[in-house]
Amino acid sequence: MISIIAGGLTLLALYLLVDNIKSFLLKRKFNCRNAYYVNDGWFGFKTFLLLLQNDRNGTSSENQINNFETVQKDTFQIRMLGSKKIVTRDPENIKAMLSTQFDHFGIGHRYGQLKPLLGEGIFTVSGEKWKHSRAMLRPQFTREQISHVQMLEPHIQNLKKHIMQNSGNPFDIQELLLKFTIDTSSDFLYGESCNSLLEDGSGLNGGVKFKSNFHKSFDYVGKFLRYRAIANGFYFLVDNSKFRDSIKSIHHFADYYVKKALEMPPEELEKATKNKFNLLFELVKETRDPKVLRDLTLNILLAGRSTTAALISFCLYQLARNPDIWLKLRTEIKNSFGSDEEGDSRIQDITFESLKKCEYLRAVINETLRLHPSAPNNYRMATRDTTLPRGGGKDEQSPLLVRKGEIVLYSAIAMHNNSKIYGESFREFKPDRWFTNDAKHWGWSYLPFNGGPRVCLGQQFALTEASYVIARICMMFSQIESFESRYPPLTELYLVMFIKNHNNIVLRI
């Protein structure tokens, strides 16, 4: 037994020696330097446990920002559960991974981590499958932005009823927004809304009874998928019966509409798409594979529902804390579209183009996404021995070696909260910063929807919907007040970042 252990240790030592020699030679070849190393305890278990603790406490995103500010480095190296990881908020490194060196980095274990819910959708696959999925979806997000605005108003009226029921008392706007966006997303995707905001709970038309826990199933699965992502290559260990049952419920929902679309005669399908946009019906013209259709629509449903709800919730959180910004924004909206309060509301004038002309509204949304990006962090895995342009040496200006299979974590929220880019007021909510000359040069320093070939296809969809909702709230209500004392807010990470527990505000006519 002793000889077997000794032999194993000898082989391990030889492997590490050869690997270190290879790394040394590669560093010489690429003229690389080492990144700053953060002491993270024995084999990085301390880092992993702190990550879980911060997740539970709602301080994960805040700690990401603080860690970079503490070490005063834009790129550094850590070890987590025994494996080396590079962590960066450097725009040049992020640009390299997502764009200029796109083929050098892949999405790692994401396929296995997210496959139970999303299958082979646009977020889980790479290579030719990803290109094919993107090619099918891209036309749908350049064609229907205007009609998307027009179909939002009925859901706004449902949202308003719930707000009015609170009679000027504090309520959780985030919970309502999550229901609102699943209603609008299902309407856009399947042609029928979940109607989760309907007071009578009648739910879906067409034979599928809406389950009151449907959006909760989405939330639970989203949180669970987050922990599968944290587990990295050990994601398969994160599993339970509730996770599987929630996924079955979600799949059943999507399968009903896929089956319905596939059974429609071609002439009826064509007539339906002329009357009202339906993404599923458009995709049926491209493929009749039911699993492909389910995977594609669920990928969009998950992203469209969660990112938009989070964006609007954080925006209202900030507006409720900044009455001067609320007043300035409301003045712009009233001048453009009138107000429900004064009886001169011009809802018909709200279009994709007219919303884009509301410059202060756009600045408010940009500033919200800067402080609270929906995807605060992400990662890439090197598909070959390669480099990052910066991060090596004391001055961080030398290239940095990334070995095949190594993971690079990149933090959009830490980059957005970098004093070297956004000044000493980087923690403040200041929409006016988007009218300065500096804003013209931020480029890859502002990345709320990722970048490069995998840039979010639905970003205009989310921005248009968020703009419409915020504009309508400005038209419907004259006052907004916050009942959340903590700043910055505690956050909760699913696949998207939300305000933890609730976002209590008051809206008054």
What is the per-residue DSSP string for 457-481? Answer: TTHHHHHHHHHHHHHHHHHH-SEEE
Neighbours of 71 (CB within 10 A): 13
| Distance separating alpha carbons of residues 332 and 311, to the nearest angstrom | 20
The predicted-structure confidence for 241-251, as pLDDT tens digits, reads as follows: 999 999 988 89
Closest CA to 206 of 263, 123, 275, 291: 263
Q: Is 379 helix (H, G, I), strand (E, B) or coil?
A: strand
Q: 3-state DSSP call for residue 392?
A: strand
**What six digits make up the tokens of 429?**
């909510």
Mean pLDDT across the stretch 65-82?
Answer: 86
Lowest-confidence segment of 163-167, 172-176, 374-378, 448-452 by average pLDDT: 163-167
Would you say residue 71 has pLDDT above 80?
Answer: yes
Q: Which residues are annotated as a binding site?
A: 456
Please say if the pLDDT value at position 269 is more than 80. no
For the CA atoms of 83, 89, 92, 95, the dihedral, rounded to the nearest 10 degrees, stands at: 80
**Looking at residues 383-387, what average pLDDT do you find?**
92
Distance between CA atoms of residues 14 and 28, nearest Å? 21
Q: What is the pLDDT of residue 466?
A: 93
Q: Which residues contact 331 (CB under 8 A, 6 or more apart)?
A: none
- Cα–Cα distances in Å, from 184 out to 150, 258, 276, 309? 11, 18, 13, 11
Q: Domains, the chain, ranges and CATH?
A: 42-508 (1.10.630.10)
Residue range 108-126: mean pLDDT, rounded = 87
Output the pLDDT for position 78: 86
Question: Which residues sit in the known binding site for heme?
Answer: 456
∠ at Cα 460 (314, 252), nearest 5°? Answer: 80
Query: Which is higher by pLDDT, 348 or 412?
Result: 412
CA distance 138 to 455: 11
CA proximity to 308, closest of 500, 179, 214, 142: 179
DSSP E strands: which ranges in 105-227? 105-106, 171-172
Percent of the chain with pLDDT over 90: 27
Compute how many other C-beta atoms are within 10 angstroms of the C-beta atom of residue 336: 18
Q: Examine the pLDDT at 132 and tell me if it is beyond 50.
A: yes
Q: What is the mean pLDDT of residues 491-503?
A: 84
pLDDT band at 90 (very low <50, low <70, confident <90, very high): very high
Q: What's residue 44's pLDDT?
A: 63
Query: For residues 24 and 305, what is the distance between their CA atoms, to the nearest angstrom?
Result: 47
Tokens of 4: 């077997």
pLDDT band per the 50, 70, 90 thresholds, residue 12: low
Q: Looking at residue 6, what is its pLDDT? A: 67
pLDDT tens across 173-225, in order? 888 998 898 888 888 888 778 788 885 444 444 445 544 566 678 778 888 88
Asked which of 29-33, 72-76, 294-298 is least confident by mean pLDDT, the reply is 29-33
Beta bridge partners of 401: 387
**Above 70 in pLDDT, residue 43?**
no
Of the chain, the percentage scoring pLDDT greater than 70 comes to 89
DSSP output for 408-453: EEEEHHHHHT-HHHH-TTTTS--GGGGGSGGGGG-GGG--TT--GG
Count the neighbouring beta carbons within 10 Å of the beta carbon of residue 42.
8
Phi, psi of 269 (to 5 degrees): -65, -45
Average pLDDT over the chain reads: 84
Please give the Cα distance from 386 to 114 (Å, whole number). 27
In the DSSP assignment, the letter for residue 98 is: I
- Per residue in 424-467, pLDDT tens? 899 999 999 999 988 888 899 999 998 899 988 878 888 889 99
- Which amino acid is located at 506 in the chain? V
Confidence class for position 100, pLDDT limits 50, 70, 90: very high
> Quick one: tokens of 68?
């970079």
Cβ proximity of 294 and 251 under 8 Å: yes
Residue with tokens 């029928």: 192
Q: How far apart are CA 152 and CA 465, in angstroms?
A: 8
**Which residues face 48 on adjacent strands?**
none
Whether pLDDT at 328 is above 70:
yes
pLDDT value at residue 211: 47
Nearest to 360 by CA among 386, 327, 392, 387: 327
Residue 19: per-residue pLDDT: 66
Distance CA 482, CA 116 (A): 38
pLDDT digits (tens, 9 = 90+) for 143-154: 555 556 878 888
Give the pLDDT of residue 359.
Answer: 95
The number of CA neighbours under 13 Å toward the Cβ of 502 is: 10
Give the H/E segment covering residue 288. none
Quick one: pLDDT at residue 472?
92
* C-alpha atoms less than 13 angstroms from C-alpha of 209 in its C-beta half-sphere: 5
The pLDDT of 403-410, averaged and rounded, is 92
Average pLDDT over residues 261-271: 80
